[in-house]
Amino acid sequence: MAQVTVKQLSEVVGATVERLLEQLKDAGIEVAGADSEITDEQKFKLLDHLRNSHGKTSAATAGKGKITLKRRSTASLKSSGSKAVNVEVRKKRSISKVSDSAPETDSKEKEKAEIQALMAEKEAREAVRAEAEVVAIEKSKEAAKQREEEAIAKKEAEVKARIEAEQQAKVVANAKARGAAKAEASKTTGSSSSSDDRNKNAQKPAAKGRGKGDTRYGRKELHVASGKKGRGKKTSRKVLAAQNAEAKHAFEKPVEKIVYDVDVPETIKVSDLALKMSMKAGEMIKTMMTMGVMATINQVIDQDTAILIVEELGHKAIASSADDRENSLLASAGDELHGELPRPPVVTIMGHVDHGKTSLLDHIREAKVAHGEAGGITQHIGAYHVETDKGVITFLDTPGHAAFTSMRARGAQATDIVILVVAADDGVMPQTIEAVQHAKAAGVPLIIAVNKIDLEAADPDRVKTELGSHDVIPEDWGGENIFVNVSAKTGEGIDDLLEAINLTAEVLEYTAPAKGPAQGIVVEATLDKGRGVTTTVLVQKGGLRKGDILLAGQEYGRVRAMFDENGKQIDEAGPSIPVVVLGLSGTPAAGDQVQVMTDEKTARELAENRHHKVRDVKFAAQQQAKLDSLFTNLGKGEVKFLNILLKADVQGSLEAIKDSLMKLAADNDEVDVAIVGSGVGGINDTDISLAAASNAVVFGFNVRADAAARKSVAERGVDMRYYSVIYDLIGDVKDALTGMLSAKFREEIIGLAEVKDIFRSPKFGLIAGSIVTEGTIKKSQPIRVLRDDVVIYEGELESLRRFKDMVDEVKSGTECGIGVKNYNDVKIGDQIEVFERVEMERVL
Ligand code: GDP
Ligand code: MG
């Protein structure tokens, strides 16, 4: 048969060429060099030599102690008569270390056996068969499986033989290796296995003639497929059968494959995608790696990537948008609505600022919302349902400043009837016209409340005339709009107004399905540290119940508790009823759609999808802002920018301010305004980091920075401002944008105290036992009460005491007793902030 070179032999036995040459020399075999061929005879001689010489040396010199030990143990197994289990792998190793392994065979008998085996092998010169034998031996522990294994081995050998015919050169080396292996095998497994081998050999030769062509490597691969299992994973022996079955499959793999239609959403988790293709995530990740996509099992990949992977794996990808799924889910929820019944009208009050919207609503519901409002402006939409003699009416109170345009627009969408409040003494103003436009766009009837009719300067006819030029024509002039003269102050005409509303509602016959999963709209949402997220929801269809699972914009959650506008717990709310719900995962935006879902998982899925979408947009915006600032920092180009990070007490204010800012920005060509971050709640360290990173100014609207954030502000030199009146904030930005920053009065916080205890004395009322944490508390200055970094009251000090003495000021680190004028709701943990108005140069 073919000869092998020293080099090839060295590869087979796993020794270096140099070592082999040395050993050959020791054995008295003449070879010219690494490339010279050696005959079988020579190999034998070498083997004999090595055996003998090693026999003299100690086992330790053999180098690989571990293997040596194992081999010995297998030998003892053999002597006990049982079939050696661990033989196979080591055999292979030992082969590759002829020089090392030989010494371990301390018994002459063994050597003989080996030699005989080797001889037999040579005669047969059936490398493949040898291999099959080895495989068989390996499997011999599982006697029951043995036959099967052989079959597999044969098959594998055949296939390999065909594929790797080019490696014939190494046949002999292989044969030798196998021979050695066999020798050892027979050593350990005894003669019975040897005879098995022979039987196998007898079966194989004809078929395996070509099998000889296998390289050692070819065979090695084969063994990797089958032998590895036995060796590498001893612990998993028990599943060997299964693995074999698998290996078989792997080998014959090009069988027909199931092609799945894989529905690929916009984003999908790696593990979920694998599941859809009924494959192991690990396998899929491997495929992804070959495609250059690195991802972990829990990572979320985008649709494009997912489609590529699906197609790479031979399946059919069907892109599905989350919107499709969402729409179908929402549609099916909608299908469950039933029980159409009349419902109360939802009325939105609109109009120019200070024309009396809040006063009017207050009068109607006999509450006093306007009283506590900062700057006298309604800062967010409130919703109330009012029971009049003529029926229930639901009011949405929208604020009047232009800043609230977008919310008002949303209000109009949730609205059946718009009440346009126009002050009779002021007439039609810009926001009056806007309100008309919104009402018309929403296609809802418009009722005009001509307010402040009690005033002497009131001129209701002027209002009619002015509105007439905007296509709002009074009924008595032949038009279709009802005009009612009212006074929120005296209450005059209010009954007429309510009657006009009820009349309109009667005519238009508002109905809604009262049963089934509720749908509605978010009126406002705030984050309350004690109660979590509180969301005002206007139910529009179906019945909202405590315990329902809500999807609201990007948020979801189970309704933990539900209250009416008076804070009374309720269990169910039907169409047109506003409720405050607790339990959402975060604060949804005013105007977000609300839907009751059947299960939390789906709700979460949809909420997350929406989150992803928004985050992408936000991220893009942030990148943009950073790019812009980079641009400016480089000093190139004329573009200037103003980056803003905005935090506010409630979602409504936040939206309103954002919208006004964007409007300002749109009106201004020279300066780019970008809102790099915004949210509801106090300003924290993360906010400051973001602001610092994007060179942003931080605006706190009725919120304050916590201690860590304040420290950060100082360290990073971030510009941070507090406001409690939207006008001031917008005005400042406007001035900054138009380069008109002039000296102006501004507030400066001069002291901060934390409330440690509350005392009630009959003489002084409620006293907040406090410690001054920053600056100085001065008696003569205005103050604010903060809870969770959010402003909850603005007013003044009634008293300031050190022990029993009245004092004018208290310095940092000192305890004092603070009495707040007209306010008795101070709680332990609140902060009292003292500020003063100072004139200062403003630079934004
Ligand atoms: P809004 O900004 O439209 O909500 O207006 P407000 O309800 O806050 O009212 C603005 C101011 O007008 C407040 O000072 C009210 O007291 C006053 N006001 C509202 N309605 C009337 C009214 O019918 N008669 C008079 N005399 N004053 C009114
Ligand atoms: Mg108001």
Domain membership of residue 577 (yes or no) is no
Segment 387-404 shows an average pLDDT of: 67
Count of CA atoms in the C-beta half-sphere (13 A) of 181: 33
Residue 422, token pair as written in the block: 């126009």
Rounded distance from Cα 97 to ligand 2 centre (Å)? 92
Q: Does the C-beta of 357 come closer than 6 Å to ligand 1?
A: yes
pLDDT beyond 90 at 31: no
Confidence at residue 14, expressed as pLDDT on a 0 to 100 scale: 66
Q: Does the C-beta of 408 come closer than 6 Å to ligand 1?
A: no
Give the residue, out of 359, 371, 398, 459, with the most ligand 1 atoms within 8 A of its beta carbon, to mutate for a pocket test.
359
CB atoms within 10 A of CB 780: 11
Domain membership of residue 735 (yes or no) is yes
Residue 104: band (very low, low, confident or very high) from pLDDT cuts 50, 70, 90: very low
Confidence at residue 182, expressed as pLDDT on a 0 to 100 scale: 47
Torsion of CA 722, 726, 732, 736, to 10 degrees: 110
Task: Specify which of 566-570, 656-660, 834-838 reaches the highest per-range mean pLDDT.
Answer: 656-660
Residue 398: band (very low, low, confident or very high) from pLDDT cuts 50, 70, 90: low
Whether 712 and 825 share a structural domain:
no
Rounded distance from Cα 101 to ligand 2 centre (Å)? 95
The residue range of the domain holding 299 is 265-320
Confidence at residue 746, expressed as pLDDT on a 0 to 100 scale: 63
629 contacts 694 by C-beta, under 8 angstroms: yes
How far is it, in rounded angstroms, from Cα 298 to Cα 415?
Answer: 44
pLDDT beyond 90 at 424: yes
Confidence at residue 602, expressed as pLDDT on a 0 to 100 scale: 86
Torsional class of 752: left (φ above 0), alpha (ψ -120 to 50), beta (otherwise):
beta
Q: Does the C-beta of 454 come closer than 6 Å to ligand 1?
A: yes
pLDDT beyond 80 at 16: no
Confidence at residue 152, expressed as pLDDT on a 0 to 100 scale: 60
Domain membership of residue 375 (yes or no) is yes
On whether 356 is known to bind a ligand per the annotation, the reply is yes
List phi, psi (to 5°) of 83: -70, 130
Segment 213-222 shows an average pLDDT of: 41
Confidence at residue 366, expressed as pLDDT on a 0 to 100 scale: 67
Confidence at residue 328, expressed as pLDDT on a 0 to 100 scale: 81
Confidence at residue 319, expressed as pLDDT on a 0 to 100 scale: 83
More confident residue, 419 or 293: 419
How far is it, in rounded angstroms, from Cα 155 to Cα 81?
Answer: 31
Whether 728 and 800 share a structural domain:
no
Start-to-end CA span in the chain (Å): 92
| CATH number of the domain encompassing residue 753 | 2.40.30.10
Domain membership of residue 778 (yes or no) is yes
pLDDT beyond 70 at 480: yes
Q: Please state, for a pLDDT cut of 70, what percent of the chain lies above it.
A: 65
DSSP state of 119: H
Count of structural domains, the chain: 5
Helices (H), 509-599: none
Whether 450 and 379 share a structural domain:
yes
pLDDT digits 0-9 by tens, 62-77: 333 333 333 333 433 4
Residue 93: band (very low, low, confident or very high) from pLDDT cuts 50, 70, 90: very low
pLDDT beyond 80 at 752: yes
Confidence at residue 456, expressed as pLDDT on a 0 to 100 scale: 92
Q: What is the DSSP string of 143-181?
A: HHHHHHHHHHHHHHHHHHHHHTGGGGGGHHHHHHHHHHH
pLDDT beyond 70 at 421: yes
Nearest atom of ligand 1 to the alpha carbon of 373: 8
Instruction: Kindly identify the ligand whose nearest atom is closest to the C-alpha of 419.
Output: 1
Least confident of 51-65, 721-735, 763-777: 51-65
How far is it, in rounded angstroms, from Cα 817 to Cα 306?
Answer: 64
On whether 454 is known to bind a ligand per the annotation, the reply is yes
What H or E segment, with its residue span, contains residue 260? none
Domain membership of residue 592 (yes or no) is no
Instruction: Identify which of 358, 334, 476, 343 has the alpha carbon closest to the alpha carbon of residue 417.
Output: 343
Positive or negative, the Cα torsion across 627, 633, 637, 638?
Answer: positive
Task: Specify which of 154-168, 635-649, 805-819 reaches the highest per-range mean pLDDT.
Answer: 805-819
Residue 668, token pair as written in the block: 């201004």
More confident residue, 273 or 621: 273
Of 460, 480, 509, at which residue does a domain stop? Answer: 509
- Indicate which residue's Cα is closest to atom 2 of ligand 1: 354
Q: Does the C-beta of 450 come closer than 6 Å to ligand 1?
A: no
Whether 757 and 723 share a structural domain:
no
Whether 710 and 653 share a structural domain:
yes
Confidence at residue 114, expressed as pLDDT on a 0 to 100 scale: 61
Residue 831: band (very low, low, confident or very high) from pLDDT cuts 50, 70, 90: very high
Nearest atom of ligand 1 to the alpha carbon of 361: 7
pLDDT beyond 90 at 596: yes
Q: Does the C-beta of 728 come closer than 6 Å to ligand 1?
A: no
How far is it, in rounded angstroms, from Cα 715 to Cα 688?
Answer: 10
- Indicate which residue's Cα is closest to atom 26 of ligand 1: 452
Whether 776 and 826 share a structural domain:
yes
Of 707, 740, 773, at which residue does a domain stop? Answer: 740
Residue 119: band (very low, low, confident or very high) from pLDDT cuts 50, 70, 90: low
Whether 366 and 313 share a structural domain:
no
Quickly count helices (H) and strands (E) in the chain.
28, 35
Segment 373-379 shows an average pLDDT of: 40
Segment 779-796 shows an average pLDDT of: 88
On whether 614 is known to bind a ligand per the annotation, the reply is no
Rounded distance from Cα 352 to ligand 2 centre (Å)? 9
How far is it, in rounded angstroms, from Cα 296 to Cα 316?
Answer: 23
| CATH number of the domain encompassing residue 374 | 3.40.50.300
Confidence at residue 711, expressed as pLDDT on a 0 to 100 scale: 82
Segment 807-826 shows an average pLDDT of: 88
How far is it, in rounded angstroms, from Cα 187 to Cα 194?
Answer: 9
pLDDT beyond 90 at 148: no
pLDDT beyond 60 at 245: no
List the Cα angle 735/741/743 in 5-degree steps.
Answer: 130
Whether 364 and 483 share a structural domain:
yes
Q: Does the C-beta of 400 come closer than 6 Å to ligand 1?
A: yes
- Indicate which residue's Cα is closest to atom 16 of ligand 1: 359
| CATH number of the domain encompassing residue 301 | 1.10.10
Give the residue, out of 352, 354, 485, 492, with the most ligand 1 atoms within 8 A of its beta carbon, to mutate for a pocket test.
354
Rounded distance from Cα 383 to ligand 1 centre (Å)? 19
- DSSP-based three-state secondary structure for 531: coil
Nearest atom of ligand 1 to the alpha carbon of 376: 8
What H or E segment, with its residue span, contains residue 14? none
Confidence at residue 67, expressed as pLDDT on a 0 to 100 scale: 34
Least confident of 171-175, 465-469, 560-564: 171-175
HEC secondary structure over 482-530: EEEECCCCCCCCHHHHHHHHHHHHHHHCCEEEEECECEEEEEEEEEECC
pLDDT digits 0-9 by tens, 491-520: 899 989 999 999 999 999 999 999 999 999
Positive or negative, the Cα torsion across 818, 823, 827, 833?
Answer: negative
Strand partners, 769: 757, 817
Residue 216: band (very low, low, confident or very high) from pLDDT cuts 50, 70, 90: very low
How far is it, in rounded angstroms, from Cα 189 to Cα 184?
Answer: 8
Whether 722 and 775 share a structural domain:
no
More confident residue, 361 or 203: 361
Tell me the pairing of strands 572-573 and 544-545. antiparallel
Q: Does the C-beta of 379 come closer than 6 Å to ligand 1?
A: no
Confidence at residue 804, expressed as pLDDT on a 0 to 100 scale: 80
Task: Specify which of 257-271, 443-457, 745-759, 780-794 reaches the highest per-range mean pLDDT.
Answer: 443-457
pLDDT beyond 90 at 832: yes
Least confident of 227-231, 351-355, 476-480, 787-791: 227-231
Of 685, 713, 740, at which residue does a domain stop? Answer: 740
Residue 648: band (very low, low, confident or very high) from pLDDT cuts 50, 70, 90: very high
Confidence at residue 559, expressed as pLDDT on a 0 to 100 scale: 95
Domain membership of residue 176 (yes or no) is no
Torsion of CA 262, 268, 269, 270, to 10 degrees: 50
414 contacts 346 by C-beta, under 8 angstroms: yes
pLDDT beyond 50 at 231: no
- Indicate which residue's Cα is closest to atom 6 of ligand 1: 356
Whether 818 and 692 share a structural domain:
no
Task: Output the CA–CA distances (angstroms, integers) from residue 760 to 121, 757, 819, in the order listed.
Answer: 105, 10, 10
Q: Does the C-beta of 489 come closer than 6 Å to ligand 1?
A: yes
Residue 319, token pair as written in the block: 């892109």
Task: Output the CA–CA distances (angstroms, integers) from residue 463 to 434, 438, 682, 689, in the order listed.
Answer: 15, 19, 43, 52
Q: Please state, for a pLDDT cut of 90, what percent of the chain lies above it.
A: 19
Domain membership of residue 673 (yes or no) is yes
More confident residue, 626 or 443: 443
Rounded distance from Cα 376 to ligand 2 centre (Å)? 7
Confidence at residue 228, expressed as pLDDT on a 0 to 100 scale: 40
Domain membership of residue 585 (yes or no) is no
pLDDT digits 0-9 by tens, 314-330: 899 988 776 777 788 88
Torsion of CA 747, 751, 753, 758, to 10 degrees: -70
Residue 454: band (very low, low, confident or very high) from pLDDT cuts 50, 70, 90: very high
Whether 491 and 364 share a structural domain:
yes
Whether 295 and 357 share a structural domain:
no
| Mean residue pLDDT across the chain | 73
Confidence at residue 547, expressed as pLDDT on a 0 to 100 scale: 94
More confident residue, 363 or 518: 518
Overall residue count recorded for the chain in this entry: 844
Residue 646: band (very low, low, confident or very high) from pLDDT cuts 50, 70, 90: very high
More confident residue, 771 or 153: 771
Nearest atom of ligand 1 to the alpha carbon of 452: 23
Confidence at residue 474, expressed as pLDDT on a 0 to 100 scale: 92
- Indicate which residue's Cα is closest to atom 10 of ligand 1: 354
Residue 408: band (very low, low, confident or very high) from pLDDT cuts 50, 70, 90: very low
